[in-house]
Amino acid sequence: MATFVDRVVLHVTGGDGGNGAASIRREKFKPLAGPDGANGGRGGDVVLEVDPSTTTLLSYHHKPHQRALSGDFGKGDLRHGANGEDLVLSVPDGTVVADKSGAVLADMIGAGTRFVAARGGQGGLGNAALASPKRKAPGFALLGEPGEERSLVLELKSVADVALVGYPSAGKSSLIAAMSAARPKIADYPFTTLVPNLGVVQAGEHRFTMADVPGLIPGASSGKGLGLDFLRHIERCHVIVHVLDAAALESDRDPVGDLETIESELTAYAQRLDEETAERTPLMERPTVVVLNKTDLPDGSDMADLVREKLAERGVPVFEVSAISHKGLRELGFALGELVETAREELPALEPAPIVITPRSRDDKGFAVVTEQYDGANAFRVIGDKPQRWVRQTDFSNDEAVGFLADRLARLGVEEELYRAGAVAGSTVLIGPGQDAVVFDWEPTMVGGAELLGRRGTDRRLEDHHRPTREEKREDQRERVASRMQRIEAMEEERRAGHWADPTIDDQED
């Protein structure tokens, strides 16, 4: 079973917003006291957060779909719905978040760094919030918005100060085990290391992290072997350490040839990287150290004597070590610590990213109307954040809510734009992109006389503030009594005329 994963595709969905409530307050002596429907709660966000105790993306490999909690619906008596809790997902330090197209959205470095991967939907307004002097008793409420859905690519790039690179079985795992508390798997066959190992090295006052990359072979930069899958873990390092096997069993290999092969693979990989950020030195210009490993063996010692001068001509420090006998490890640790400290001092201080405010253009209507073919006929599609959001909030089973949507679209200028685009009564109009758009036959309200039918969401009973006087009440009572007596006299005349029989008297046969 896999224990380490450094690249996953994560599907995240924010929580849905709760629906608003449509309610009318009713109390004793206060009939129809007005709307009291409350708003729905907001859906929770999906948040990625760097956690130092998390070292792999394995959990999201097994559970790639993550969803935050939805908000609760509103209730009567102005009881607002509860907001949905945010879903916080822990990721390792050095995780890069990108979309499916490859565009980087966040580079998460440092404990506590957060990134909102998917936002929750807004809760719908209740009819109490929709009430106004022109709409005193709305008989509808707005629906909650669905949460944002996104598919993200998470890549882990280890935040290590020193990267160990080299051929398979060169002794990288043994070296990191001898210099730190890390205990990677060590065996006498190639490609023992299948995942990067990370260890912390303490050399006097110097403290740095060291990572070994699974064995590189010729063609690793183009996908051969395991190298390409894990070369991303050396992109953030300060120092590159070439671990060379001085006692290689293959007769066609020698430390100098291995070094040239690995450098060519790193150069090819560096050319495929994106442009380096200003605060980092290009990969091939970073400090390099050569380590001749296994020099405790006779063959290793003899090979070190043969290649020592050739390696020294390159102008890079060369250390002869043994991971088994710990020969030369102390000197190597101090040298790497000094190089790391120097590289850290040269890094510019991190500054917070400036806040960029982009005002909307004065000519921007917030929507657009495009003409397209739909079911073999011309149709008009309305695209824009506001119209699409309003459609999602509308309960189309409620005629008053549909009318409210029509009023909002008319105030936004959608009908005017449809006229300019050539739409007429009965034209097919779509609101929203793709197959999820709302489709309807357009009936314009601007010239159809709908404005003469009265305002939507009004109740004349709430507009009548007249209180009858005592005399008016008496007159109303006299009218009701007189009307009742007239009905009784009419019934008595019908009975005398034989139009209906008295049920208390038995019928007699002639």
Give the residue numbers of the binding site for GTP.
Answer: 166-173, 191-195, 212-215, 293-296, 322-324
Q: From 124, 156, 188, give the residue that closes a domain.
A: 156
Dump pLDDT digits (tens) for 228-262: 555 666 777 888 888 888 887 666 778 888 888 88
The span from the CA of 431 to the CA of 428, in Å, is 10
Same domain, 313 and 421: no
Same domain, 439 and 372: yes
Question: What is the domain-level CATH number for residue 416?
Answer: 3.30.300
Kindly report the number of other CB atoms within 10 A of residue 112's CB atom.
9
> Whole-number mean pLDDT of the chain?
80
Q: Domain for residue 380, yes or no?
A: yes
Dump pLDDT digits (tens) for 316-327: 888 988 888 888
In the chain, % of residues over pLDDT 90:
19
The span from the CA of 125 to the CA of 80, in Å, is 10
Same domain, 221 and 84: no
Mean pLDDT, residues 77-100: 91
Same domain, 142 and 125: yes
Same domain, 127 and 168: no
Mean pLDDT, residues 72-99: 92
Q: Domain for residue 5, yes or no?
A: yes
Same domain, 373 and 229: no
Give the residue numbers of the binding site for Mg(2+).
Answer: 173, 193
Kindly report the number of other CB atoms within 10 A of residue 345's CB atom.
7
pLDDT-based confidence at residue 20 (cuts at 50, 70, 90):
very high
Q: Find out whether 71 and 123 touch, Cβ atoms under 8 Å.
A: yes
The domain total for the chain is: 4
Same domain, 448 and 477: no
Above 50 in pLDDT, residue 491?
Answer: yes
pLDDT the model gives residue 459: 52
Is the model more confident about 219 or about 254? Answer: 254
Four-residue CA torsion sign, 219, 221, 223, 228: positive
Q: Which two tokens stand for residue 171?
A: 């002794």
Q: Domain for residue 151, yes or no?
A: yes
- Lowest-confidence segment of 20-29, 107-116, 190-199, 341-350 by average pLDDT: 190-199
Q: Domain for residue 506, yes or no?
A: no
The span from the CA of 61 to the CA of 202, in Å, is 34
Above 50 in pLDDT, residue 190?
Answer: no
Mean pLDDT, residues 375-403: 88
Same domain, 254 and 115: no
Interaxial angle between packed helices 172-179 and 329-346, expressed in degrees from 0 to 180 and rounded to the nearest 10? 90
**Residues pairing with 46 in the sheet:** 87, 118
What dihedral angle (degrees, nearest 10) is formed by the CA atoms of 415, 416, 418, 423? 100
Q: Domain for residue 354, yes or no?
A: no
Show the CA angle centred on residue 272, arms to residues 337 and 342, nearest 5°.
15
Mean pLDDT, residues 186-209: 67
The span from the CA of 224 to the CA of 269, in Å, is 12
Q: Which domain holds residue 113?
A: 1-156
Interaxial angle between packed helices 414-421 and 399-412, expressed in degrees from 0 to 180 and rounded to the nearest 10? 70
In 238-328, alpha helices (H):
255-272, 298-312
Please give the model's pTM, rounded to 2 decimal places: 0.66
The span from the CA of 307 to the CA of 305, in Å, is 6
Could you tell me which residues come within 8 angstroms of residue 386 by beta carbon, excluding any fewer than 6 positions away?
A: 366, 367, 412
Q: Domain for residue 61, yes or no?
A: yes
Q: Domain for residue 278, yes or no?
A: yes
Above 60 in pLDDT, residue 309?
Answer: yes
pLDDT the model gives residue 348: 67
pLDDT the model gives residue 255: 84
Same domain, 197 and 328: yes
Q: Domain for residue 352, yes or no?
A: no
Could you tell me which residues come within 8 angstroms of residue 196 by beta carbon, excluding any fewer than 6 positions away?
A: 4, 6, 158, 211, 212, 213, 214, 230, 233
Above 80 in pLDDT, residue 282?
Answer: no
* Residue 455, φ and ψ in degrees, nearest 5: -80, 140
Same domain, 230 and 276: yes
Give the residue numbers of the binding site.
Answer: 166-173, 191-195, 212-215, 293-296, 322-324
pLDDT the model gives residue 257: 85
pLDDT-based confidence at residue 464 (cuts at 50, 70, 90):
low
Same domain, 407 and 481: no
Could you tell me which residues come within 8 angstroms of residue 303 by beta carbon, excluding any fewer than 6 positions away?
A: 246, 247, 254, 255, 292
Same domain, 263 and 322: yes
Dump pLDDT digits (tens) for 420-450: 888 888 888 888 887 778 888 887 764 433 3
Question: What is the domain-level CATH number for residue 301?
Answer: 3.40.50.300
pLDDT-based confidence at residue 307 (cuts at 50, 70, 90):
confident
The span from the CA of 226 to the CA of 212, in Å, is 13
265 burial class (0-12, 13-18, 19+ CB within 10 angstroms)?
A: buried
